[in-house]
Every structure is written in structure tokens, then in C-alpha cells.
Amino acid sequence: MPEPLFLASRSLEALCGISLIIQTLEFLRLREPLSASGVWSFAIGRDDLAHASGLTRRFFALLSQDDVWLAHLLLRLLACGVLVVFGASLPLVAFLFIGTIAILIRWRGAFNGGSDFMTIVVLSGLLIATLFSWFGDEAFGWRAGLIYVAIHSASSYFISGGVKLVNADWRSGKALPLFLDGGVYGPLSPTSLYWRKPVAIACSWSFIVWECLAPLVFLDVAFAMFYCAVASVFHVLVFWHFGLNRFVFAWVATFPALIYVAGQLN
């Protein structure tokens, strides 16, 4: 395997593993509210699967049992550690992928919104890579997997910027302070700079322009690296203001793919 491809693949594996470890530890901390006697007991939402087959309903009933849920999370934690240290294999990635899908179904499709989507994207890229590797074409599989992840990552930023661009509240700066006012450390102080319209407009348009520029990462590898550095700061700030800790590594795990594809195109 060529060195750039090896570095990109190993970086993606390690960052994806770290991202999944964070998510798994979060679920372990939520064991009590997710237990049979907790406020998020499976029994409360089990009717959402009324349309499913009996086998499917029994599977999720079994998975949601306290002991089975704990065993799944511990196995998942072990699998993530193996992914970080030793890299991906088809059985390992298949276990993490299927387990993640099962958890999302348990949560009616999403637990933490966009980070769930991007986690599935990265796991899908790993699944593509390991599936082709299983049949002997490792380099092609990793290229295909990295391209898949890169396209989804860049398009997620671009679509986010596009949505803000067509939204009058974002263009006028009105939306940003309202979002921050409802953050983990909100409400904003009445004297916060974000309430000042020029500051709010400048910040809003900085986000809009930056996100809409995402497709340009494929034109220059240096710009791709700069874009990913700025994106890292952005996601840390989102975590700081909104407590969305999953978002940091869910997106950072895609950056090796963005940089690799940019390098291959140039």
C-alpha cells in the first residue's frame, strides 16, 4: 500500500476508534436511565417496532436487557481499542457498524443527530475498505472508502452553509445569539458581544462562507489541511458552547479522507 494511503487509512481508523470510544463511554454513563427501570427504558418506545417482524422485536428486546446491553457496550469498547491499535478488519468493522445501527434504531433513528450520521459515514467507508481487502484488493478498497468519506464530509459542511445562506435569520445575524443563548453555558449575558448586531453578522457570515467553501478542499491539499484545522477549532467551540462532545471526533475522523483525496487530485 502506498505510504500516503497507509497514513490516511491508519489515521482514519484511529480517529474513528477514538470517536466510538467516547460514544460508548457516554452510553456506559447512561446505564441507569437506560435500564429497565430507567426513564429511557426500552419498554417505553418498544411500540415503535410494532411494524417489524417478531424476530426483530425479540432481538431489540434482548439487546435492551440490562446485562446484554452492558456486555454489548464492553465488547464495543474492546473492539474500538483494537481498531485504534491494530486497525480495521471486516469482522471488526461489521460488528461496530451493525451495533451502531442497532443503537440508533433503539433511539428511534438518532441519539445525537449529525454526529450519528457522520459516524455511520466513517464506518461505511471502513466497511467498503475492509470488504474489498477481504477479496484481495486492499489499495482499491481503501481509496474507495476514503473517497466515500471525503465526499460525505465535504457535502455536510457545504449543505450546512447553504441552509444558513438561504435563511434570513442567519444572514441578518439574528440566529447566532439565539442559538448561543440556549447553549450549555447560556443564557448569554445581556452585555455579551454576540448581542451586538455587527458582531453577530460578522460571525454568522464567517460560518456561512467557511462552510460553503468546503468543496474547494479538493482543489489544493494545503487548503484542505488549513480547512480541517479551522474545522477542528469550530467543532471544539461547538462542544464548548453546546456540550456536543461527540461532534469533535465524529467530524475530525473524516479529515484524513479529505486531505488524502485532495492530495490525490493534485
Task: Please check whether residue 129 is in contact with residue 144, taking contact to mean a CB–CB distance below 8 angstroms.
Answer: yes
**Assigned C-alpha cell, 176:** 447566532
> In this structure, how many other beta carbons lie within 10 angstroms of the beta carbon of residue 58?
11
The Cα 86–Cα 95 span in angstroms is 16
What local confidence, expressed as pLDDT, does residue 17 receive?
Answer: 97
pLDDT of residue 233: 92
The pTM of the full predicted model, rounded to 2 decimals, is 0.92
**pLDDT for residue 64:** 87
* Rounded average pLDDT over 140-164: 96
- The pLDDT-based confidence of 246 (bands split at 50, 70, 90) is confident
**What pLDDT does 186 receive?**
67
Q: Poorest-confidence range of 74-78, 109-113, 118-122, 229-233?
A: 109-113
Spatial separation of the C-alpha atoms in residues 82 and 79, rounded to whole Å: 5
Number of domains in the chain: 1
Arithmetic mean of pLDDT over the chain: 91
According to the model, what pLDDT value does residue 112 have? Answer: 76
3-class SS of residue 137: coil
Give the Cα separation of 139 and 233 in Å (integer).
32
pLDDT over 70 at 145, yes or no: yes
The amino acid at residue 141 is G
pLDDT over 80 (residue 109): no
In the block, residue with C-alpha cell 411500540: 47
**The domain containing residue 60 runs over which residues?**
3-265
d(CA 18, CA 255): 14
Q: Per-residue pLDDT averaged across 118-131, rounded?
A: 97
State phi, psi for 39 to the nearest 5 degrees.
Answer: -75, -20
15, 248 Cβ separation under 8 angstroms: no
SS3 145: helix
pLDDT digit string, tens, across residues 180-204: 877 776 677 888 888 899 999 999 9
Count the Cβ atoms, other than its own, within 10 Å of residue 179.
16
Query: Residue 94 pLDDT > 90, yes or no?
Result: yes
Q: Grid coordinates standing for 139?
A: 489499495
**92 pLDDT above the threshold of 70:** yes
